[in-house]
Structure 1
Amino acid sequence: MSISLSVHGAAQTVTGSCYLLQSGRTRFLIDCGMFQGSKTLKALNYGDFPFKPDDIDFVLLTHAHIDHSGLIPKLVKNGFGGPIYATHGTIDLLTCMLPDSAHIQETEVDQLNKRNARRGRPEVTPIYTLEDAEAALRTFSPVAYDEWIEPAEGVRVRFWNAGHILGSSSIEIEMMTGIDSPRTMRLLFSGDIGPEVTSFHPTPDSPRNLDYLICEATYGGRERPAMTLASRRDLLAAEVSEALKGKGVLIVPSFAVERTQELLSDLLALAQERRIPQVPIFLDSPLAIRATEVFVDHAHELEDGDAFSHAMRSPLLRTTESVQESMMIERIEGSHIIVAASGMCDAGRIRHHLKNHLWRTNATVLMVGYQAEGTLGRILQNGVRAVRIQGEEVKVNARIRTLDIYSGHADGPGLARWVEERGPVSRGIILVHGEKEGIAGLDERLSDRGLDGERIFVPELDAVFDLLAESPATRERPAPRRLQPEFVGHQDWHNDLSRLWLDIEEELDKAADDKARRVILRRVRRALENKHE
């Protein structure tokens, strides 16, 4: 008998989480997430799975975030017919998140097809539809924390609270390794590990004494200042007060689940205490509105859930469900706050608000979450003079600020402590769900704590590990690759093209006269004509 682990997502990037475990005739997935970030990376969502969906027996889902769950409707659509095990909180969140994801895809594809028709290009189809999302929801099977289930013969599974978002889990797996001399192999998939300070959840917990630990490394290279809930609100109060001066407008791109709820809780508490101006706070995301209702329904599971439920009834909080209501926000005069998805500015209503406000000097954009490489959020965070949104150039005159105090992830020291507390890990630690800086940082921290560096592994996309090999783990070269490593976790040619367009337009604007502009355009044309020389 052999046991293999294939890493089909979140390999040297923070998105597309998907792992395939195979033992004998049993094949199952841990997560089935959507790729986000650059267009090159997102193109993987449209391609075939690197496995046959109808060969998968069941799925274990760590939590509801789309980069962990977003391709489940496609999996079901393409032939998967088994159960998907997840906590009650995760399932309740996905009842609004998966249909929302399908709606976004259908809407964006409809808009793209209208543009393609004008350009004479073929139509494209969405990754999945609302009907597919609803079919996927019918395959979910709820599980409780700290209780063993046996989804297949020789496989036992237990979910632990990961403290990341409502319903989030680390997943412990026990697998029998043979018949003649059977033993149990113990694996732990971290999922996303929550920070040590959070409004809603207890400190993450999981078992010790493992054979393998598959661990996220999102913030493995960062160390945040020591933080309490009180000091977090102090920092937020200072940023908000500065942003709202002189009839200023504050725009917060925020992930619809957990980040938005924590942020609203703090904003409304500060307003009630009159530590920030009492201005309208617009929650402009249908998904975030529905997710907030799920959080209220699960308030009994949250720490200080009663206070959260009370805060959500504040008259300062205004929700905008329809597109028309969202567009009306632009007519608001005076200071106000807009909280809208998506958190990385790559889709959703936030792009409309950025388009309307980035060029204004009295606007502030406050980043409160991780911005993956290649996303509009990271590009703004890095500092640019202009960006292209929906095909239009928009100057960046607004203040771009970052408050790394609402992350749902543990920082580097927190992750290293969590890993150390899981020990001993006898055969190997596999670092996933992190970009280059995060993985290198956590690798170094673990080595500094005395963990054997030869037992720490960093897989490439679609790498396969033989978990029963004599060495702790050996890599097999998959063929063919879906994407070369240099295209994972980096800006791609689409980002370069947008930057080039902006640079050309800026040079044309700065040119002294039309003659000078024609010279610039001739040089560009000459470069294109000589591209093969």
Structure 2
Amino acid sequence: MATLTFYGATEGVTGSAYLLQTGAATILLDCGLFQGSREEEKGNDEPLPFDIQGLDAVVLSHAHLDHSGRLPKLVADGYQGPLYMTEATSELLEVMLKDAASLQQRDTEWENKRRRRAGKQEIEPLYTLEDVEAALELCQGFVYGQRRQIADGVEVCFRDAGHILGSSIVELFVTEAGVEKKLVFSGDLGNSYAALLRDPEIVKAADVLLLESTYGNRNHRPMDETLQEFEDIIVDASKNGGNILIPSFAVGRTQEIIFRLGQLYQKGLLRQQAVYLDSPMAIAVTEVYHRYQDAYNREDANTLRQGETGSLHTFLPILRYSSSTEESMALNKIEAGAIIIAGSGMCTGGRIRHHFKHNLWRRNAHVVIVGYQAIGTPGRSLVDGAESFKIGGDSIAVAASIHTLGGFSAHASQSQLLDWINHFNEPRPRLYLIHGEAETKATFQQFLADHGWTATIPQLADTIDF
């Protein structure tokens, strides 16, 4: 009998990893980084808790690091088999893993400087760029809806999850003794009101269902209200001339913000002189989005065609890329009339902090928060009304207007998750809640019970028969 073991995203949102074992094959579903507190991230340094040499294949739901970020470590530790994913995911994976390796290298160098001064033993990064290149060589891309055998008695099919470009709902078909069973992993399901991508595909049959629950305890603010507030902020800011700074995540959120700014431009409401995308990673991701426009939903694809080639570039003609350090630094000389989109999304690092240094103290400047800000992050301090902001050894007075928009989300909300699972036929699948904080999952479990569903919340290293 096949078994499934939960090796991540059980005690929180990150570290996605599930091991499927049959009598003939062993499949790893996702291999993500643990992210968050230092205590949580210590899990990345632990040896992977299964026999790497016994793996026949790895299946990846999408490119976000909490689902993919330990793949180079897996390869560095000896895995040489195939990595299966969608074609778009394989392209985004190259951008994201190389960026992650560079950041780890930088952070390790800084830590080792400190350790040398303290006479402590130096450390190694979790993995290197060479490990990333080795992992990328193993990637095999699928198109949505393509069902293929990946190991003895195991087939896979990817369905569009609508979360980020290339994101998938994973269907695994396991045949033993002539009997086929089906495991469905939701991956991260998208918000049907978000821009560009299609709604999550409907799946109607499964024996076991793994369901994400990131927003299982609440619904998002209505998108029309969010867009109206976004428009009001942009229009008002143009009247007083100050710059607008938008800290944004490189994958998904940045591309949606560019699209929303394009809508305002096409309506004649965007009076700023230029929109600068000041993030090499976000620029690279936006180019991948440009190459996969066939993944867009019909309505937004038709809207984009108001530009000459149907791209984000022509839909927002005042969009400018700032790739180099010199180009980024030049933006600090602009005192008014610019919109600057830069990472990191929670203001923990990246170029946005340099722009804060030159703009936060200006009374006519605006900061627009368009993504979740975790407790303890610099971005959260701005949301909570901080009067000063620390950058290095400097403390910058916050005189700029801080705006928080809560409606932008790449995840399905509580009601959207329920709607998606309600499409499953009888007999209903055995349902397991993953990818959520403990309190969120407990709330969602009760919510589902009130709507006729029995859901189990697995613990780390729990194994179920499948």
Q: Shared fold by TM > 0.5? A: yes
Give CA-to-partner distance per residue, 1:149-187, whole Å, 9 cap, x none.
1111111211111111111100011223x53xx532221
Residue 211 of structure 1 corresponds to: 207
Residue 283 of structure 1 corresponds to: 277
Conserved 8 A contact 1:361-1:398: yes
Shift of 1:246: 3.1
Say whether 1:101 aligns with 2:103: no
CA RMSD of aligned residues (A): 2.4
CA distance in 2, matches of 1:123, 1:246: 51
Residue 431 of structure 1 corresponds to: 433
Conserved 8 A contact 1:249-1:362: yes
What SS does the corresponding residue of 1:255 show, helix, strand or coil? Answer: coil
Q: What residue ranges of structure 2 are gaps of 5+ in the alignment?
A: none
CA distance in 2, matches of 1:436, 1:120: 40
What SS does the corresponding residue of 1:73 show, helix, strand or coil? Answer: helix
Instruction: After the TM superposition, list the runs of 4 or more consecutive aligned residues in structure 1 that deviate by more than 6 angstroms.
Output: none
The letter of the residue matching 1:190 is S
Conserved 8 A contact 2:194-2:409: no
CA distance in 1, matches of 2:394, 2:374: 22
Conserved 8 A contact 1:162-1:204: yes
Q: 1:209–1:377: structure 2 CA closer, same or farther, 3 Å change rule?
A: same
Q: 2:290 aligns with which of 293, 296, 315?
A: 296
Conserved 8 A contact 1:164-1:193: yes
Conserved 8 A contact 2:162-2:197: yes
The letter of the residue matching 1:467 is D
Residue 34 of structure 1 corresponds to: 33
CA distance in 1, matches of 2:351, 2:211: 33
Residue 411 of structure 1 corresponds to: 413
Say whether 1:199 aligns with 2:195: yes
Q: 1:211–1:295: structure 2 CA closer, same or farther, 3 Å change rule?
A: same
Q: 1:438–1:387: structure 2 CA closer, same or farther, 3 Å change rule?
A: farther
Q: 1:149–1:108: structure 2 CA closer, same or farther, 3 Å change rule?
A: same
Conserved 8 A contact 1:412-1:441: no
The letter of the residue matching 1:312 is H
What SS does the corresponding residue of 1:32 show, helix, strand or coil? Answer: coil
Q: 1:296–1:2: structure 2 CA closer, same or farther, 3 Å change rule?
A: closer
Q: 1:373–1:157: structure 2 CA closer, same or farther, 3 Å change rule?
A: farther
Question: Which sits farther off after the overlay, 347-356 or 211-220?
Answer: 347-356
The letter of the residue matching 2:255 is Q
Q: 1:144–1:300: structure 2 CA closer, same or farther, 3 Å change rule?
A: closer
Residue 239 of structure 1 corresponds to: 233
Q: Which has the greater radius of gyration?
A: 1
CA distance in 2, matches of 1:336, 1:374: 29
Residue 450 of structure 1 corresponds to: 452
Residue 263 of structure 1 corresponds to: 257
What SS does the corresponding residue of 2:289 show, helix, strand or coil? Answer: helix
Conserved 8 A contact 1:220-1:437: no
Conserved 8 A contact 1:13-1:435: yes
Residue 22 of structure 2 corresponds to: 23
Residue 329 of structure 1 corresponds to: 331
Say whether 1:164 aligns with 2:158: no
CA distance in 1, matches of 2:291, 2:99: 19
Conserved 8 A contact 2:290-2:312: no
Q: 1:186 aligns with which of 182, 196, 201?
A: 182
CA distance in 1, matches of 2:19, 2:391: 37
The letter of the residue matching 2:431 is I
Residue 54 of structure 1 corresponds to: 53
Residue 223 of structure 1 corresponds to: 219
The letter of the residue matching 2:155 is R
Give CA-to-partner distance per residue, 1:465-504, whole Å, 9 cap, x none.
2225xxxxxxxxxxxxxxxxxxxxxxxxxxxxxxxxxxxx
Q: 1:277–1:408: structure 2 CA closer, same or farther, 3 Å change rule?
A: same
Shift of 1:363: 3.6
TM-score, normalization by structure 1:
0.79
Q: 1:119–1:352: structure 2 CA closer, same or farther, 3 Å change rule?
A: farther
CA distance in 2, matches of 1:115, 1:318: 38
Say whether 1:4 aligns with 2:4: yes
Conserved 8 A contact 1:3-1:24: no
CA distance in 2, matches of 1:75, 1:172: 23
Q: 1:19–1:384: structure 2 CA closer, same or farther, 3 Å change rule?
A: farther
Q: 1:436–1:310: structure 2 CA closer, same or farther, 3 Å change rule?
A: same
The equivalences for 1:68-83 within 5 A come to 68-83=67-82
CA distance in 1, matches of 2:360, 2:463: 46
Give CA-to-partner distance per residue, 1:380-409, whole Å, 9 cap, x none.
434445555556555544443221232111
Conserved 8 A contact 2:173-2:182: yes
Conserved 8 A contact 1:12-1:439: no
Conserved 8 A contact 1:37-1:375: no
Residue 462 of structure 2 corresponds to: 464
CA distance in 2, matches of 1:329, 1:282: 8
Shift of 1:434: 1.4
CA distance in 1, matches of 2:422, 2:62: 23
TM-score, normalization by structure 2:
0.90
Q: What residue ranges of structure 1 are gaps of 5+ in the alignment?
A: 469-533
CA distance in 2, matches of 1:243, 1:299: 31
Q: 1:79–1:168: structure 2 CA closer, same or farther, 3 Å change rule?
A: same
Conserved 8 A contact 2:154-2:172: yes
CA distance in 1, matches of 2:110, 2:317: 36
Residue 482 of structure 1 corresponds to: none
Q: 1:357–1:137: structure 2 CA closer, same or farther, 3 Å change rule?
A: same
